[in-house]
Amino acid sequence: MDMIQSIRNVLVPVHRQGYPFIATFLVAAVLLGLLWEPLFWLGLILTLWCAYFFRDPERVTPQAGDIAVSPADGKVSFVGPVVPPVELGLPAEPMLRVSIFMNVFDCHINRAPVRGRVARMVYREGEFRNAELDKASEVNERSSMVIEGPHGQIGVVQIAGAVARRIVPFCAAGDALEAGQRFGLIRFGSRLDIYFPAGTVARVGEGQKAVAGETVIASFGEGLANWSFRKD
How far is residue 122's CA from residue 23's CA, in Å, rounded to a whole number?
Answer: 31
How far is residue 67's CA from residue 225's CA, in Å, rounded to a whole number?
Answer: 10
Q: Are 113 and 154 in contact (CB under 8 A)?
A: yes
Active site residue: 70, 99, 143, 190, which one?
190
77 among known catalytic residues? no
How far is residue 121's CA from residue 143's CA, in Å, rounded to a whole number?
Answer: 7
How far is residue 191's CA from residue 200's CA, in Å, rounded to a whole number?
Answer: 21
How far is residue 125's CA from residue 121's CA, in Å, rounded to a whole number?
Answer: 14
Q: Residue 46: which of 162, 211, 188, 191 has the closest Cα?
A: 188
How far is residue 219's CA from residue 157's CA, in Å, rounded to a whole number?
Answer: 19
| 147 backbone dihedrals φ, ψ, rounded to 5° | -105, 125
Catalytic residues: 190
